[in-house]
Structure 1
Amino acid sequence: MRRLTKWLMAATTALVAAAGSATAQVNELRIGYQPSPIQDASIAMFEAWGARNGVKIVKVPNSYGVYVEKMTASLTSNSDQYDVIWHNDDWGQTWAHLLEPTDDIDANKYADKWSMAPVVFANAQGQNTVVPMGQTFSVFFYRSDLVKPEEVPKTLAELVTVSKALQAAGKVKFGYVGGMSMNNSWFSWFWSMWANNCDVLMPPYERDNKKIAEAGWKSGMTEPCMQQTAEYWWDAINTHKIVPRGMPAYDRNEANAVFMSGDAAFTVADSLWWSTFNDPAKSKIAGKVAAASFPLGPNRTRPFAWDDIWGWAIPKSIAPERKKLAKQMLQAMMLDEEGQMKLWKATGAPPPNTTFWPKIAAADPFMKLLKESVLDSPDKVRGAYYFPQWPAVHKAFNDTVTKAVTGKREDIAKVLAEGAPLVSKAAQ
């Protein structure tokens, strides 16, 4: 009897310990992310929620350069390494079948409908797989101490003229600087291409995969507008010298550093860098930065903008109790007005809950500008394509235009023609 009693007591102790261990696991959420102002501000809301609810938030930072590769490997191996991960429209369809549906997170109803369209993040069953972190899009930043609002370039040609004038006056080393390397195409190649009625695949601005397939996955590499775009940047680098010589290899951080040092008058960067550009502790041009619409190419007369979200997703492979807790955290984040106001002030990125936007715009001229020029604009383009092969298409595109702009000007058309079938093949 004594032995039986001892055995029962030991078994009970083991069960309690096991239950305690399970509880401890559920009360911890691991966040896979890439350190950046908007992600840091969003995670701060997670941590505030965790502190209130006894949930430990474990941050697992990853380098941007290997993020997609690393997370894809984690997701496809059914790993439980992460409970919530940074999710982006660039790889929305690549991961859709590996992520937990988030239609049951009620606060998603407050998200921007354009950015949350099924074409971007829905799985094969039409279920959403993301919760927004905030709107991410770029704007044309300029030095307000050097250029008056009425003097801001309205066309790509004017960007050259104004830049050369500022350089000749000794006010800046460069007119324009922007990221140009792979995964940084948006900050030079893409915006200038879209501003000239051009796109990676035909027809321009189309993101319906059925329509793109009907067009034969035709690349835009041999279109006159693409040659104009490549020649524009070749001239900017070699003839006009309004941009750094090494810009084809620049990422966003290198370009932002040049702009914040005061060496360039213009840049294109995500709006979330607004606060950093105007932070005296980080930027030599703080208080001297403003934003405007993109300069347009010869083939376009109406302004344009692109608008996407960064978001959070939940791996399908984690345990049900962890999914439930992660969804509770994301629901709370979407409703956290105080936290989202802090996100806005820290980054300049419109927060995920659209019901807060009018209040911000009423008090902040920069948000008013973003609403007028981007958020409420009828002329918008999505910043990526939404099929699993998009990363390969993007690489084929960037490899081609980089080769074109770093070679001889007379070879640009030939290089683009050679790259065209590579882009189309990658899409299929």
Structure 2
Amino acid sequence: MDVMMYRPLQEGKAFAKNGYLADLTKNVSSDSGWDWKDYQEGPVKATTVDGKVVGVPIITEREVLYYRKDLLQAAGLQVPKTMDELEAAAKAIKASSPGTAGFVARTGKSTAVTQFSSFLYSFGGDFMDSSGKASVNTDAAKKAYAYYGGLIRNYGPANVSTDMSWPEAMAIFTQGGAAFYTEADSLYKNATDPAKSKVADKVGFAALPAGPAGSKPYNIPSWALGVNQNSSNQENAWKFIQWATSKERTLEAQKAGVPGPRTSVWSNPDGTSTYPKDLADAIATSAKNGVGHDRPEVVTVGKAREIVGAPIVASITGADPAAAANDAQTAFQTFLDSEKK
């Protein structure tokens, strides 16, 4: 195997640590026509490990707000631009539209972490601080856990499951069960395709509402291409990646509905011609403000997600999110220390 397709934020650290990925730092900077500088900052950060470029992003995603235009219009509400406005609108719609939740999102301990991350950043927090220490019990993190869980507990679907990933949450939204839904932009066709969605013609999109620290959704590469460190054909492997990730190929893929990492393609009207205009606008905003990770940047990502996701479930179920965050802080720091051994 010469070229591999991998998930930078799920396996990237582990692959780099184990020597699976070749160093592409010189390759990406050697061809000005191919133009590494054209790549968005968040995805570049996610495919760079210990200062070395080990992958080229091919598919990106950001968290955006999905909403029901008809419900907002009926309630006389504007599209929320802040977290406070989102909560107020969710409360108003749930009160005025029996049987319709004000808000829905992922709820699973592990699966919700990526979507919760944007709330965490927008409240001014992160999973780790600049020194690599756990930071899930800061005031900002505790407020983010309380807010996210509170939205679902107070304004979400009745008897909501605490094990929902995107298919379950998306189904509630597309079957008309909720007014607001925060999710990856890459999944938008599930909401706008009449064959999949009962509300296809009623869906709007907006940038993630701003928290105390602003609107800071994740902007990440869900997939990237890398060269096998043990390949005897690395030169041709890189030539293939250059071809597959060129501006022309990226534009073709994006027109087919695959969101890419190149700034020039998003700036090209052809690059957004197949996207709803409000979604394209939300993506443009999110790419500028976005954070380059949507989960803890560690080697054993699955275990880390279980730890930092526990306060999400605690908050949804009405337990004390601050106490859960303190417990998660202790467990997460122990986990981080163990990874260094």
TM range (shorter): 0.7 to 0.9
- Residue of 222, 234, 242 corresponding to 1:331: 242
- Provide the residue aligned with 2:225 in structure 1: 312
What is the root-mean-square deviation of aligned Cα atoms in Å? 3.0
- Residue of 185, 190, 210 corresponding to 2:113: 185
Give, as a single letter, the amino acid of the residue that structure 1 aligns with 2:254: W
Cα distance in 1 for residues equivalent to 2:327 and 2:190: 40
- Contact 2:55–2:225 under 8 Å retained in 1: yes
Stretch moving more, 380-389 or 171-180: 380-389
Shift of 1:397: 0.6
- Contact 2:6–2:224 under 8 Å retained in 1: yes
Shift of 1:359: 1.5
Q: Which has the higher contact order (CA 8 A, sep 6+)?
A: 2
The aligned runs of 1:258-407 (5 Å cut-off) are 258-297=172-211, 299-300=212-213, 302-309=214-221, 310-317=223-230, 319-321=231-233, 323-335=234-246, 337=248, 339-347=249-257, 349=259, 351-360=260-269, 363=273, 365-366=277-278, 368-370=280-282, 372-375=284-287, 377=288, 379-383=289-293, 384-388=295-299, 390-406=301-317
- Provide the residue aligned with 1:88 in structure 2: 8
The Cα offsets for residues 137-170 of structure 1, whole Å up to 9 and x where unpaired, read as: 1111111222259612233343333223323333
| TM-score normalised to structure 1 length | 0.66
Return 5+ residue gaps in structure 1 as ranges.
1-79, 203-210
The Cα offsets for residues 213-254 of structure 1, whole Å up to 9 and x where unpaired, read as: 4xxx14232x2333333333444344x243453343111121
Cα distance in 2 for residues equivalent to 1:342 and 1:170: 42
Shift of 1:267: 0.9
Shift of 1:336: 6.2
Cα distance in 2 for residues equivalent to 1:316 and 1:162: 51
Return 5+ residue gaps in structure 2 as ranges.
none
Residue 154 and residue 172 in structure 1: after superposition, are their counterparts in 2 closer, same or farther (change >3 A)? farther
| TM-score normalised to structure 2 length | 0.80
- Provide the residue aligned with 1:220 in structure 2: 136
Residue 412 and residue 353 in structure 1: after superposition, are their counterparts in 2 closer, same or farther (change >3 A)? closer
Shift of 1:282: 1.9
- Residue of 145, 150, 153 corresponding to 1:230: 145
Cα distance in 2 for residues equivalent to 1:374 and 1:234: 23
Cα distance in 2 for residues equivalent to 1:287 and 1:173: 18
Cα distance in 2 for residues equivalent to 1:185 and 1:143: 24
- Contact 1:173–1:264 under 8 Å retained in 2: yes
Give, as a single letter, the amino acid of the residue that structure 1 aligns with 2:263: T
- Provide the residue aligned with 1:102 in structure 2: 24
Shift of 1:381: 2.2
- Contact 1:308–1:382 under 8 Å retained in 2: yes
The Cα offsets for residues 320-363 of structure 1, whole Å up to 9 and x where unpaired, read as: 23x455433322222263x53453244362x2343322223675
* Larger-gyration structure (1/2): 1
Shift of 1:171: 6.9
Residue 230 and residue 138 in structure 1: after superposition, are their counterparts in 2 closer, same or farther (change >3 A)? closer
The Cα offsets for residues 65-102 of structure 1, whole Å up to 9 and x where unpaired, read as: xxxxxxxxxxxxxxx5x842233234322212321233
Give, as a single letter, the amino acid of the residue that structure 1 aligns with 2:131: I
Q: State the SS of the aligned residue for 2:41.
A: coil
Residue 101 and residue 287 in structure 1: after superposition, are their counterparts in 2 closer, same or farther (change >3 A)? farther
- Provide the residue aligned with 2:164 in structure 1: 250
- Provide the residue aligned with 1:194 in structure 2: 121
Residue 371 and residue 272 in structure 1: after superposition, are their counterparts in 2 closer, same or farther (change >3 A)? closer
Residue 165 and residue 284 in structure 1: after superposition, are their counterparts in 2 closer, same or farther (change >3 A)? same
Residue 116 and residue 168 in structure 1: after superposition, are their counterparts in 2 closer, same or farther (change >3 A)? closer
- Provide the residue aligned with 2:48 in structure 1: 122
Cα distance in 1 for residues equivalent to 2:40 and 2:207: 22
Cα distance in 2 for residues equivalent to 1:155 and 1:370: 14
Q: State the SS of the aligned residue for 2:187.
A: helix
Cα distance in 2 for residues equivalent to 1:224 and 1:268: 23
**Number of equivalences:** 322
1:135 equivalenced with 2:57 (yes/no): no
- Contact 2:47–2:56 under 8 Å retained in 1: no
Residue 112 and residue 247 in structure 1: after superposition, are their counterparts in 2 closer, same or farther (change >3 A)? farther
Give, as a single letter, the amino acid of the residue that structure 2 aligns with 1:143: R
The aligned runs of 1:149-160 (5 Å cut-off) are 151-160=78-87
Give, as a single letter, the amino acid of the residue that structure 2 aligns with 1:320: S
